[in-house]
Chains A and B, each alone.
Chain A
C-alpha cells in the first residue's frame, strides 16, 4: 500500500481511538466520582440506571442533549458561544501529545501509541515525537484559560464574572508553580520530548524520576498545582456554590454546560497522564506472555496510573474542605513557588556535581 495513505489511515485510527477512549474515561470518571464520594458519605450514589448505575453517564448525556438550550438575553452572543467550545477543544487537544505506550505492530504496520509520535529508525526505541511536547501541553493549558475567562465575562452576570476572575487569577498563579516543578525533571532528562522522558525511566520503579531523580518534592508541587489548574476541591474557588452559585458557568445550560463539565474532567485526565509520564515512568511495568500482551500490557500499566490519579482526585474531594481565596493565593506564591525554586536549584546542583 502507498506509504502516505498508510500513514493517513493509521493517524485517523489513532486519533479516533484515543479521543473515543478519552471521552469514555471522562464519562466514567463522573460515574466513579459520584459512586466513590457517595460511599465516602454513607450514600449509594447512582444505582438505578443499569447494574451499579453503570449506564448513568449515558442517561446524563441524553438529558444534556434534550434539555432546553437557553441563551440568556443580555450576553455577548459570539463570545458566549465561543467560550465552551474553546475550553473543550483545548482540553481534548493536549491528549495528542501524551505518549501512552511504545510501538505496536498490527497487520504488518508498526506505529507508536501516541498521536504525535512517529516511527524513527535512528531513535533508541524506534520512535520519536516532537521535541517540545511538554511545552506544547503547557501552551495549550495556558490558552485554555480563555475559555473560562471569556465565559464569565460574556455571560454579563456578576457571579459569572467573579468566578471567572478568580479562575483566571488562580490558573495564572498556579501555572508558575506547575511550570517550575517540571524544571527538575527537564534538567535530569535533558529533553522536552515526552517520549524521550518516559524511555529514560524504563525498568523497575526505582528508575522513575520520582525515586531515581529524587523529584518527589517536585511531584507534590506538581500535584497541588494540578488540583488548582483543574479547579478541583480544595481549590475549586471559581465555582464555589455557597458564594457564586456555580461560578463562571452559572449562565450556561444543557450541552454548553456539559462542554465545560467535560473539559474539566478531560483536563483531569491530561494532568494525570502528564504526572505518570514525567514522574512515574509512563508505561513502564512488567511485560510478559504472547505478543498481543506485549502490545497491550504497557497501555494497561499506563491506564492504571491514570486511574490511581483520578481516584486520588475523588478521594481528596471527599476529604478536604475548600480553601479561602487569600489562603489559595498565599499558598501558591509564598509556599509552592519558593519550594519549586529551591527544588530547581538543588537538582541543578546535583546534576552539575555528578557531571
Chain B
C-alpha cells in the first residue's frame, strides 16, 4: 500500500515535471523541471529496489550533467524562447508515432502483467557489487571500448574548442 502510494506520488511528480519542461518559456525553468524529472526517476528506481542505480542517477544526471546545462544557460544568458507555429511534418509523423508507441507499451504491459510484486531495497539485481561484476567482468570489453569512445569525444571537443594558431 505504502509502496503504491509512493509510486503514484513520484510518478505524478515525474510526469508533471516532464510536462512543465515543455510548457515553460524560459530555458532555466525548463532545466529545473528536468532536474525534478531526474530526481523523481531516481526515487522510482529506489522503489524498484535498485539503490545504487538511484543514487548514481542523482549524482550523474541531477548533480553533474544538469549543473552543466544550468551553467551554460547562465553563461549565455539565454532569454525567453521564440515560439514557432509548429511544423507540419512533426504533426504528420508525430501523432501516428505516438499512437503506435502507446499501443506497443500497452501490449507489453498486458502480456507481462505478472511482474508487479514489491521489492525491498537491495533485493533487486542492482547493488553496487552486482553492477560492478557486470561491468568489469562479464562486459569488460564493451565497457572499455565505450570508455575509449568517450575519450575520443572529449579530445574532439578540445580540438574543436581550441583557437587556431
Q: Do A and B bind each other?
A: yes
Binding site for B on A (CB under 8 A): 76, 79, 130-132, 135-136, 138-139, 141-143, 145-146, 149-150, 152-153, 161, 164-165, 168-169, 172, 192
Select A131's contact among B58, B59, B122, beta carbons within 8 Å.
B122
Q: Would A149 and B71 be within 8 Å (CB), given that A131-B51, A131-B122, A132-B51 are in contact?
A: yes
Query: Complex: how many Å from CA A136 to CA B62?
Result: 12
Chain B, residue nearest A149 (CB): B70
How far is the CB of B3 from the nearest CB of chain A, in Å? 16
Chain B window 48-60, contacts with chain A (Cβ cutoff 8 Å), 1 for yes, 0 for no: 0001101110110
Indicate whether B13 reaches chain A with its CB closer than 8 angstroms.
Answer: no
Chain B, residue nearest A172 (CB): B67
Q: Would A139 and B59 be within 8 Å (CB), given that A131-B128, A153-B28 are in contact?
A: yes
Provide the main secondary structure of the chain B interface. Answer: helix
Q: Would A168 and B67 be within 8 Å (CB), given that A135-B52, A142-B59 are in contact?
A: yes
In the complex, which residues of chain B have a beta carbon less than 8 angstroms from the beta carbon of A131? 51, 122, 127-128
Chain B, residue nearest A79 (CB): B28
Whether B52 lies near A145 (C-beta < 8 A) is no
Indicate whether B18 reaches chain A with its CB closer than 8 angstroms.
Answer: no
Select B62's contact among A135, A142, A149, A150, beta carbons within 8 Å.
A142
How far is the CB of A192 from the nearest CB of chain B, in Å? 6
Select A165's contact among B54, B56, B62, B75, beta carbons within 8 Å.
B75
Query: Complex: how many Å from CA A79 to CA B51?
Result: 30
In the complex, which residues of chain A have a beta carbon less than 8 angstroms from the beta carbon of B52? 132, 135
Whether A130 lies near B51 (C-beta < 8 A) is yes
Query: Complex: how many Å from CA A90 to CA B35?
Result: 15
In the complex, which residues of chain A have a beta carbon less than 8 angstroms from the beta carbon of B32? 79, 150
How far is the CB of B94 from the nearest CB of chain A, in Å? 31
How far is the CB of A177 from the nearest CB of chain B, in Å? 14
Provide the main secondary structure of the chain A interface. Answer: helix
Question: 19 additional contacts, CB 8 Å, given A135-B56, A139-B59, A141-B63?
Answer: A79-B28, A131-B51, A131-B122, A131-B128, A132-B54, A135-B55, A136-B58, A138-B59, A139-B55, A139-B62, A143-B63, A146-B35, A150-B28, A153-B74, A165-B74, A165-B75, A168-B70, A172-B68, A192-B128
Name 23 interchain pairs, CB-CB below 8 A, sorted by A: A76-B28, A131-B51, A131-B122, A131-B127, A132-B55, A135-B56, A136-B58, A138-B59, A139-B55, A139-B58, A139-B62, A142-B58, A142-B64, A142-B67, A143-B39, A146-B35, A149-B67, A150-B70, A153-B28, A164-B74, A165-B71, A168-B67, A192-B128
Whether B63 lies near A168 (C-beta < 8 A) is no
In the complex, which residues of chain B have a beta carbon less than 8 angstroms from the beta carbon of A132? 51-52, 54-55, 128
B: contact size bracket? 20 to 34
Indicate whether B11 reaches chain A with its CB closer than 8 angstroms.
Answer: no
Query: Complex: how many Å from CA A210 to CA B6?
Result: 41
Chain B, residue nearest A190 (CB): B129
In the complex, which residues of chain B have a beta carbon less than 8 angstroms from the beta carbon of A152? 74
Query: Complex: how many Å from CA A135 to CA B55?
Result: 6
How far is the CB of B147 from the nearest CB of chain A, in Å? 14
In the complex, which residues of chain A have a beta carbon less than 8 angstroms from the beta carbon of B56? 135
In the complex, which residues of chain B have a beta carbon less than 8 angstroms from the beta carbon of A135? 52, 55-56, 59
In the complex, which residues of chain B have a beta carbon less than 8 angstroms from the beta carbon of A146? 35, 67, 70
Whether B121 lies near A130 (C-beta < 8 A) is yes
Residue of B39, B54, B62, B71 most packed against chain A (CB within 10 A)? B71
How far is the CB of A264 from the nearest CB of chain B, in Å? 19
Q: Would A143 and B70 be within 8 Å (CB), given that A131-B51, A131-B122, A131-B128 are in contact?
A: no
How far is the CB of A189 from the nearest CB of chain B, in Å? 12
In the complex, which residues of chain B have a beta carbon less than 8 angstroms from the beta carbon of A161? 74
How far is the CB of A190 from the nearest CB of chain B, in Å? 9
Query: Complex: how many Å from CA A192 to CA B71?
Result: 30
In the complex, which residues of chain A have a beta carbon less than 8 angstroms from the beta carbon of B63? 138-139, 141-143, 145
How far is the CB of B161 from the nearest CB of chain A, in Å? 16
Chain B, residue nearest A145 (CB): B67
In the complex, which residues of chain B have a beta carbon less than 8 angstroms from the beta carbon of A165? 71, 74-75
Chain B, residue nearest A179 (CB): B59
Chain B, residue nearest A150 (CB): B70
- Which 8 pairs, one residue from A and one from B, show the smallest C-beta to C-beta distance? A142-B63, A139-B58, A135-B55, A153-B74, A139-B59, A132-B55, A132-B51, A139-B55
How far is the CB of A175 from the nearest CB of chain B, in Å? 8
